[in-house]
Amino acid sequence: MERDTLFLHLWRQVCQLEEARRVAWQQLTTPAAIAARQRWVRERVQAMIGPFPERCDLRARVTRTLDRPTYTVEAVIFESRPRFPVTASLYLPKERPGLLPAVVSPCGHSANGRLYENYQRMHLALVQQGFAVLSYDPISQGERLQYLDAAGKSTLAGCCHEHCMAGNQINLTGAGFANVRIWDGIRALDYLLSRPEIDPQRVGVAGNSGGGTLSAYLLCVDDRYAAGAPACYITTLVHRIATRMAADAEQQFVPMLQEGLDHADLLLPAAPKPVLIGAAVQDFFPIAGARQTAADLASIYEVLGRREQTAIATADAPHGWSQPLREATVRWFNRWLRDRDTAYQEPAITTEADATLYATASGQVLTSEPQAATIHEIVQRDFAVSPSCRTAADPAAALRAGLPALLGIDPAAATRPWPRPWWPVPPVALPPAPAGLRLEAVQLLSDYDVELRGVLLTPARRTGQAVLLACDEAGLAPLLTRAGRAVELAAAGAVVLVIEPRGVGSDVGPVPQQQTAGRYYGFYGVEVDLTYTSWMIGRPLVGQRTFDLLCAAHWLRQKGLPVALYGVGEGGLLALLAAALDPQVTSVTAEGMLVSWQNLFDTPVYDYLPGILPPGILRLGDLPDVAAAVAPRPVSLRGLVDARRQPLAADAVRSAYAPAVAAFERCGAPERLEIE
C-alpha cells in the first residue's frame, strides 16, 4: 500500500492554520478592524516578497501601430527595471468623448502571453466598449522568453518551468518571484497613466488564471486602481492544496499560511472598491473555494455599507476566460468605470495573428534588444544578499542561532519520545544479510504523525561507533546492496542505521491522477507541490527532513553508542545541517552533496528541486558556514557537485568552503576538515 505520510502531515497543519485564520477573519466586524487588517495585509505581503526597486526611467516607446476601423493597437516596449524590457499592447478606441476609462490586463500562463486568442478577445471587447486597454507580457511568456537556445527557443519546458527556475533562486534570498511579477504590473500602470488619453480616476485591472493572480496582487499593493476583476484564480488555499496540483513560484508567498493570509486577504485591501471574482465551475481552482472567498469578501463589504460593490460571476466551463466570464467583466467595468449598468453580449470578434502585434522585430526581447538583461541577470543584480553570520562576532553561534527558524524546526523537540500507535504499515522488506551482519527493520516516530522507516545493520564485531546514514531520493535499496555504503560501514565495525527521511525512497506518496507533471519528481511534480506547501506553512521540507535525522540520531544514541552522521547526495546536505544543530554528533560525512546554495543561486539553469532549499537562507549563511559551525568536530566532504550535478575538483570545493577552512584553522584542527 502506498503511503501519503508527507502530504497528510502537511495537510493537517494547513487546516489548523486555516482554522486560526478564520477566527481572525470573523473579528472583522467594524470598519476600524477592517482598516487595521488591510494595513497589516499590505505590510505582510511586502515583507514576504521583499522591497521593490526604485522607479527607473520607463524608456517607453511605440514600435508600431495597428489601425482598425474603430480602434488602434500600439505595440509598446517599456522598462520596468533598468535593462528589463516589457512588451505590451495598448488598445485605444477612436471615439473619445473625453478622458478614457482604462483597464490593465496582466496575462495568464499562455505561451504567447498577451497575444493568446481569448485574451485578445477580452481586450477587443473592452476597447469596443470605449475602454483603453494595456495588456503586457509576463516574464517568460510572449515576447519575453528568458532561457533561449541558439534558435531563440526556450530551453525549458514552458513558462511555468521558467518562473520556478528563477523563483526558487529568489526565495533563497528571503524575497519572492512575485516581486518581479508585481513590479512589472506597477510599472505598466505607470506607463498607462503617463498617456494623456487616460482618466487616472477610472482605471481597473483584470486578468485570467496567472493574470487573475496578478490582478489580485495588484489590487492588494497598488491603491491607484478603481476596480478589479480577477478571473479563474481566486479560491482558498485549503481548496487549492487539496487538488494536489502544483502552482508557480509566484503563486504562493512564503510563509503565507503561517502568516494567516489567504485569497480573501489579497482582495481585502481593495475594499470597498468594486471587485468581481470570475470563476469557472469546472476549474482546477476549485469553485467551492471561490464561493467561500466571495462570501468572505461580501461580509466585509456589508460592514462597510457597500455590499453591491463585490460579486462573483460563474460560468459552467473549464479553466479559462470563457465568453460568459468575459461578458461579466465588461458589464462590471461598464457599471463601475463608465456608470452604465446595462446588458452586454459579446459580438463576433476577429483576433490578430501574433506577429501582427509584436512589439519587437524578432518576436523576442532577448534577440531584438541588445541591452536587455535576462531574468537570471536581474536575479543576480537585484536580489543578491550577503550572509549575516560572516560579519558576526561568532559566526558559528550566529549560524546555529538563526538556522532553526529558517528550517522551521525546534531541534530540542527531537528528543521528545512520541509513543508509536499501531498502524497497518509494513516495515521495510529486508534484503538477504551479508555474512557477519544482522539486519533489522526499524520504524520510529519523528513528528507525532510521521513514521520513519529504516534498517539497522549490526556487525558481529563492533568498534563501538554508530553511524546514522541518510538516504537521497533513491531510498534504502542502493545503500543496502553488498557494495552499498551501509554495508561497507557496517563491515568496518560500525552499527549503522540507514533511514529514509519523510517523503524519500519507499516513503514517497502516490502520484495523484490530476497532478500536472504526472510524476513524483520533476520540476512541476508532487515533490515540488509539497515543498511549496511546506514553505507556506513555515516548515520547509529540508527542515522537516533535517528534524527526522535529529530524531533518528537521538533514537540511535539510546543504544549507548556515539553517533556519527553520513549522508549521500541530498542526504549529505541533511546530515551537515543536523550535525550543526546537534552538538552530540561526533562527526559528519557528506558525499555527492550540492557544494552550496550560492552555487545554485549563481547557476542560470540548475538540476535540483526546491526541496533542498530553505527560503531566506542566504541572508544568514550557506553550506560552507554550516560546515564551519560543526568545527572542531570532523567534517568530511567527498565528491561534492555543482548545481548541474557535475563533480567539482577538490580545489574548487576548498575555495568555496573558505569559511569552514578558516573555522577549523581557528580551532587548531585544520586536519579535521577533509575535502576529497
Percent of the chain with pLDDT over 90: 86
Judge whether residue 505 has pLDDT over 90: no
C-alpha–C-alpha distance, residues 75 and 85, integer Å: 13
CB 514 within 8 A of CB 244: yes
pLDDT tens sequence across 180-230? 999 999 999 999 999 999 999 999 999 999 999 999 999 999 999 999 999
- And the C-alpha cell for 271? 475594499
**417 pLDDT higher than 90:** no
How do residues 305-345 score in pLDDT, each as one tens digit?
A: 999 999 999 999 999 999 999 999 999 999 999 999 999 99
Cβ pair 630, 575 in contact under 8 A:
no
381-395: per-residue pLDDT in tens?
Answer: 999 999 999 999 999
User: What pLDDT, on a 0 to 100 scale, did the predictor assign at position 541?
Assistant: 97
What does the alpha-carbon distance between residue 652 and residue 650 come to, in Å, rounded to a whole number? 5
For 589, residues 6+ apart whose C-beta sits below 8 A from its C-beta are 564, 565, 566, 567, 572, 575, 635, 636, 637, 638
Q: How far apart are CA 194 and CA 189, in angstroms?
A: 8
SS3 (DSSP) at 641: strand
Q: Report CA torsion sign: 632, 638, 643, 649.
A: positive
For residue range 234-282, what is the model confidence (pLDDT) as tens digits? 999 999 999 988 889 999 899 999 999 999 999 999 999 999 999 999 9
Identify the pLDDT of residue 614: 98
Mean pLDDT, all residues of the chain: 95
What is the predicted pLDDT for the residue at 518? 59
CATH of 404-418+443-675, one of 3.90.1010.10, 3.40.50.300, 3.40.50.1820, 3.90.340.10: 3.40.50.1820
- Cell digits of residue 670: 585544520
Q: Do domains 31-383 and 404-418+443-675 have the same CATH topology?
A: yes
Domain boundaries, the chain: 31-383, 404-418+443-675
User: Which residues are bridge partners to 659 per DSSP?
Assistant: none
Pairing of strands 227-231, 198-208: parallel
> Angle between the 658-666 and 395-407 helix axes, to the nearest 10 degrees?
130
pLDDT band at 428 (very low <50, low <70, confident <90, very high): confident
Contacts of 370 (CB under 8 A, 6+ apart): none
Distance CA 575, CA 150 (A): 41
Question: To which H or E segment does residue 496 belong?
Answer: strand 495-500
Closest by CA position to 172, among listed 620, 607, 529: 620
Cell of 434: 551479508
With beta carbons less than 8 A apart as the criterion, state whether 232 and 240 touch.
no
pLDDT band at 480 (very low <50, low <70, confident <90, very high): confident
> What CATH code would you report for 31-383?
3.40.50.1820
